[in-house]
A and B are shown apart, each in its own frame.
Chain A
C-alpha cells in the first residue's frame, strides 16, 4: 500500500507539471491579453511597455519562463504574483480556500444525505409512486443549471429582496468566515449549499438507485435473505456496501472538482472562494492567478482520487494494492 501511495504521489507531481504546461500554453499560444500592456496605462510608450515586460519576466523565452515557474512552485512554493494587482498568488488562494472548503463540505453533506436516502428508498420501493416521482424530479434537478437555480433561490428566499424572504438566511454577498462568526457563517451558506447540492443529490440518487437495483438481484443477497437476516441488514450491510462503490468514485472526483472552485455557485452568491478568484483572473487575463488556481484544482482532484482508491480497499475486500 505504501509503495502504491508513493508511486501515485510521484505521478501526481508529473501530472501537475503537465497541467501547468497546458495552462501556460493556452495563455501563450492562443490570443490572450498582453499583461504588460494591461499594466501600462492607456497611452503607453514603447519604453514603459518594455520595462514592465522586463519587470514581469515576460522578456525571457517561454521555456525559461515556464521552467522558472515550475522550479519556484515545487522548490520554493512560490506561485508568483498577480499581473494585475501584484498580490501574492499563494496568499490569495489561502485567503479564498476556506470559503470554498466551507461550501464544499456543507454541499457534500446535504447531497449525500438526500441523494443516498432517496436512492436507497427508490431502489427498495422500485416502481412505486415514490420511485417514479423522485426519479422524475431528479431529472428536473439535473437539468436545472446551477446559476439559474441560484438566481431563482435568491429571488424567492433572499432575506433582503426575496419574494418569500427568509430572515434567518444570509443573502448574496453575506459570506462570513467561520472564525469570525459561526452563526453568520451558517446562515450565509444555507442557500448556496442547497443550490449546489440539488443537482448532485439528484445524480447520486439515480446512480445509487441503479447500482442498488443491480446488486439486489445478486445471488448473495438472495442468500442473505434466505439466512433470515433482517431486510434492513440485507439492504444496508450487504446491498448498499457493494452498490456504493461507483458513488464513492464519483464523490471523490466531485469533491476534488469543487475544492478547485465551484465557479458558478460562488459567483451567483458572491462567495469569495477559489472559483471566484479563478473567474475574475480569467476575465482579466491574470495568468499567475489562473495557473495557481488550476494547479490547486488539479491537486485536489488527484488527491481525492487517491483517497478514493484507498477507500476501495476497505469497501471491497477483493481490491488489493
Chain B
C-alpha cells in the first residue's frame, strides 16, 4: 500500500475517532449531575421543575386559556391500555382514557394532584369523625350514553363498586381500599350486594365501614372504580368470565365515548391496536370541569420506537405521546429547541434499590446505612435520563402529594440522616458505618454472595449493573441475574422465599393523591405477602408498622399529611432501600397542539388539550 493511501486511511480513522468521541461527550448531563445534596446540585429547589420552566408544563396553571374547540388529536403509544372496563382499569395511561369517556365521583384537574375535585359528586365526601362512614351527594341530570340513555343515580355507583369485587371483574384495588366496607366479600367470587353501601335516595350514597379507614376509601373514589355502571345493561356482560363490559359492550358518561354501534358494542376499540374516541351525543354537561375541545381522538398503539415517534410528532400535526416518553438522550436538546411542545409533571412515584432487610447481610441496619451512604445515586439516576427526568429521591412521598412538604420537601431529612446526605456517595462515611457493623476494614467482610435480580431491559439493566459494581467496590460478592420485568416481580422480587438480597429495578406509583398509597403497601410489615409482595425490602419493624396503621385512621387532611410524613420519616430511618429518583413523566406534542398535561394520569389531558 502506498504511503499516501496509508495517510488517507489514518486520517479517516482519526476523523471517525474524533466524531465518535464527540458523540460520546455530546451529552454533558453527567457533569452537571454530580455531587452535593439534591438541592445544592441545582442551586436549591427542584432541579427538574427548573429545567422544564417555560415548557407546556406551565399550561397546567391555566388549562383552559386559549383552548379551541374542534379537530382530531392522534396519540402515539407503544402499548394498549390495561383495560377499557372502568372496574378493572388501574394504570395511569388507561385512567387518562377513562377521564375522557367517563365521569366518576371525583377527578383531578390537570394542575392540582394534591386533592381530587368533585366530578359527579356534588362536593367533598363527608367523612365521619370516627372514619367509619363516608357520605357522598351526587349531582342530578347526568346521563348514560345509548342504548341505556337514562339519568345516572346512586345505584349505578353502588353496582360499579360491588361488581369490582366479583371474580369476573377482579379489580386490582377494591380489596385494598374498600375491604373494610360492612359485608364486603373477603375474596373475589360471584356478584352479591354489599350491605355497607347504602343508597337512601337517587342522589346519595353512603359507605359504612367496620374500621375508621374512611379517608382512604374517600380518596379511592377518585379512581375509575367510581365510574357509574348501569346494572341492567352490564350484568349480562359481567356474567361472562372474565367480564366483557368495557372491552366489548359499554356505555359512557363523559364528553367522549368509544365509537360504538347501536347495541353499545365498542367497535372503536381494537385490542392492542387502536382506540377511536368520538363525542358522546348523549353527554349532558352537568357542572362538568371538562372543556373537551377535540372533536375526535385516535389512540394508536405499536409505536415502540420512541425516537421515531418523537420525530413524527414534532414534524407532524395534531399528535402527542401516549404511554411513551421522548428518549432521555434527546431530552436536553428538546428542552432547548422544543420547549412549547414539551411538558413534564411529577409521576407520583419513586424508584429505589431495595435491600432485603429480612436476611443477612442487610438485616443489619448499619450495613444498610453503609451501602446507602457509599452509593452514587446520581449514577443510577443518570441511566434513566438524569436530572431532566426527576430529582434524587430523599424519601418516599413524591412531589405534589400531601405529606411531601411535611417531609421537608426535596431535601427530606438529609440534615439528620447523614447516610442520605450525599447522592454522589460518601465512601468515608460508608466505611464508618461498616465499622459500626463490626467490619474493621471499612468494607463488607462477609463471604455470602448477594443475589441481585434486576430487569434485563434498559435502562434498568444499567442500573442493575451499576448497583452490582458499587456493591463489589464496597466488598460484597455478588451474583447478578437479569430477567424479564414481569418475571422479576412475579418470580423473584415479589416472592420472599426466593431470598433475593437486592432488587435494583423497583419503583412505585400512587394509586391516588394520598401518601398511604405510597407507604403502606411498600413498607408495612403487615403487608408482606408470600407471592405478589410489594414490600420488597421486607421491612417489618413493629414500631413502623404501628405508625403506618395509625396514619391510615387519621381523617383530617392536614393531620393526615403530617401523620404520613412521620411514618415516612420512620421508614427512612430504617434505611430499607436506596431511593434514587422521584420520577417525572416527560411528554411531547406537535407544534399545533396546546398540550395540557394531567398531573394524575401524567399524560396529555384529553379534556383540556386542544389544537392551537
Contacts and interface: CB of A to CB of B under 8 A. Distances in A.
Q: 8 smallest A-B Cβ distances: which pairs?
A: A41-B172, A47-B187, A33-B486, A161-B315, A34-B490, A270-B302, A37-B490, A161-B311
A31 interface: yes
B532 A37 contact: yes
Interface in A13-35: 31-34
B188 interface: yes
7 contacts: A34-B490, A40-B532, A43-B175, A51-B187, A87-B247, A87-B271, A158-B312
A119 to B, nearest CB: 33
A173 B304 CA distance: 11
A284 B486 contact: yes
A38 B490 contact: yes
B303 A270 contact: yes
A268 interface: yes
A194 B247 CA distance: 36
Contacts of B172: 40-44
A173 B75 CA distance: 12
Contact of A86 (B187, B242, B484): B242
Interface residues of A, number: 44
Interface in A36-63: 37-49, 51-52, 55
Interface stretch (A64-72, A211-219, A229-237, A272-280): A272-280
Contacts of B316: 160-161
B40 interface: no
B487 A48 contact: no
Contacts of B15: none
A277 B494 contact: no
Contact of A31 (B80, B309, B487, B527): B487
A51 B167 contact: yes
Given A39-B170, A171-B312, 19 more contacts: A31-B487, A32-B491, A33-B484, A37-B489, A37-B532, A42-B90, A42-B511, A43-B521, A43-B529, A44-B172, A44-B175, A44-B532, A46-B530, A48-B188, A155-B311, A267-B304, A270-B300, A270-B304, A276-B302
Given A37-B532, A40-B532, A49-B531, A285 B173 contact: no
B590 to A, nearest CB: 10
Contacts of A291: none
B305 interface: yes
Nearest to A34: B490
A151 interface: yes
Contact of A48 (B175, B270, B271, B527): B175
A180 interface: no
B490 A280 contact: no
Interface string A136-171: 000000000000000100110010110000000001
A273 B491 CA distance: 30
Chain B interface size range: 35 or more
Nearest to A171: B312
A272 B312 contact: no
Interface of B: 76, 79-80, 83, 90, 167, 170-173, 175-176, 186-189, 241-242, 244, 247, 270-273, 300, 302-305, 308-309, 311-312, 314-316, 483-484, 486-487, 489-492, 494, 511, 521, 527, 529-532, 534
A45 B511 CA distance: 17
Interface in A263-313: 267-268, 270, 272, 276-277, 280, 283-285
Contacts of B532: 37, 40, 43-44, 49
Nearest to B76: A173
B312 A161 contact: yes
A39 B241 CA distance: 13
Interface of A: 31-34, 37-49, 51-52, 55, 85-87, 92, 95, 151, 154-155, 158, 160-161, 171-173, 267-268, 270, 272, 276-277, 280, 283-285
A45 B528 CA distance: 11
A33 B491 contact: yes
Nearest to B189: A51
Contacts of A38: 486, 490
A160 B315 contact: yes
Given A39-B170, A42-B90, A34 B242 contact: no
Looking at A42, A86, A172, A280, which has the most chain B CB atoms within 10 Å of its CB?
A: A42
Given A41-B171, A270-B303, A285 B486 contact: yes
A39 B532 CA distance: 11
Nearest to A42: B172
A171 B308 CA distance: 10
A42 B534 contact: yes
Looking at B186, B316, B527, B532, which has the most chain A CB atoms within 10 Å of its CB?
A: B532
A40 B242 CA distance: 12
B486 A52 contact: no
A25 to B, nearest CB: 16
Given A43-B176, A154-B308, A31 B188 contact: no
A23 B93 CA distance: 32
A173 B301 CA distance: 9
Contacts of A172: 303, 305, 308-309, 312
Nearest to B242: A86
Nearest to A37: B490
A42 B491 CA distance: 14
A272 B271 CA distance: 11
Contacts of A160: 312, 315-316
A276 B273 CA distance: 10
A32 B484 contact: yes
Contacts of B492: 31
A48 B303 CA distance: 33
A155 B90 CA distance: 36
Nearest to A30: B487
A290 to B, nearest CB: 12
Contact of B186 (A47, A85, A154): A47
Contacts of A55: 167, 241-242
B300 A173 contact: yes
Contacts of B300: 173, 270
Contacts of A283: 484
Contacts of A40: 170, 172, 532
Contacts of B83: 85
Nearest to A268: B305
A267 B486 CA distance: 21
Nearest to B520: A43
B239 to A, nearest CB: 14
B535 to A, nearest CB: 10
A34 B529 CA distance: 15
Contacts of B312: 158, 160-161, 171-173
A109 to B, nearest CB: 25
A171 B319 CA distance: 14
A192 to B, nearest CB: 13
B586 to A, nearest CB: 19
Contacts of B308: 151, 154, 172
A191 B483 CA distance: 34
Given A32-B491, A48-B187, A272 B247 contact: no
A151 B532 CA distance: 39
Contacts of B311: 155, 161
A37 B80 CA distance: 19
Nearest to A41: B172
Nearest to B171: A41
B27 to A, nearest CB: 20
A41 B529 contact: no
A276 B304 CA distance: 11
Given A85-B271, A87-B271, A276-B302, A37 B494 contact: yes
A44 B171 CA distance: 10
